[in-house]
């Protein structure tokens, strides 16, 4: 079976189970409030981290480097914001893991190193060809 189909079936089952368990411990009203609070805090923090990632990406571009980690990080933050908007505790947990810079660096740090060029040292010369032209009457520029 396709993994997307399996996840579309298993994720709601897991979320319903967690709703029932958390609701039985803290009450239905508190569970609903907790879902809204995690969504609001998560979206605002995603906005903050997204702006920091854009700023870092521009700084990489000013240094004439490829902002590979920032591109991956920006996509992860957008996906995390989507997970935080979707009601549920498992999706909120995964969303918060993707939003925090430390865990995002652990998850995507090795992936961005593949895009970096190890020979990207700055060279202060221009490679080219030249030709000596002697000053004679046959050849004038």
**Residue 69: predicted pLDDT:** 84
Domain-embedded: residue 107: yes
Q: How far apart are CA 63 and CA 67, in angstroms?
A: 10
Q: Which of 126, 73, 75, 72 is nearest to 100 (CA)?
A: 73
In a domain, 14, yes or no: yes
Domain contains 125? no
**Contact criterion met (CB below 8 Å) for 71 and 17:** no
Query: Whole domain around residue 64: which residue ranges?
Result: 3-113
User: Is residue 45 situated within a structural domain?
Assistant: yes
Q: Is residue 124 part of a domain?
A: no
C-alpha atoms less than 13 angstroms from C-alpha of 99 in its C-beta half-sphere = 26
Average pLDDT for runs of 10 along the chain of length 141: 86 93 93 92 91 91 86 90 91 91 83 60 67 65 54
In a domain, 64, yes or no: yes
As for how many domains the chain has, the answer is 1
Q: Is 54 helix (H, G, I), strand (E, B) or coil?
A: helix
What's the whole-model pTM score? 0.71
Domain presence at residue 52: yes
> Is 136 contained in some domain?
no
> End-to-end CA distance of the chain, in Å?
73
d(CA 41, CA 86): 13
pLDDT at 31: 93
């Amino acid at each position: 079976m396709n993994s997307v189909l399996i996840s579309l079936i298993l994720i709601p089952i897991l979320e319903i189970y967690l709703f029932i368990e958390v609701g039985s411990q803290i009450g239905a009203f508190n569970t609903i409030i907790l879902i809204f609070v995690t969504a609001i805090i998560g979206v605002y923090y995603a906005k903050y981290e997204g702006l920091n990632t854009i700023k870092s990406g521009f700084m990489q571009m000013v240094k004439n480097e490829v902002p590979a980690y920032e591109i991956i990080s920006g996509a992860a933050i957008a996906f995390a914001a989507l997970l935080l908007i979707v009601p549920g505790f498992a999706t909120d947990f995964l969303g918060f893991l993707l939003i925090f810079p430390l865990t995002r660096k652990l998850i995507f740090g090795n992936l961005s190193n593949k895009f970096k060029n190890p020979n990207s040292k700055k060279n202060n010369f221009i490679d080219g060809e030249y030709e000596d032209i002697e000053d004679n009457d046959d050849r004038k520029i």
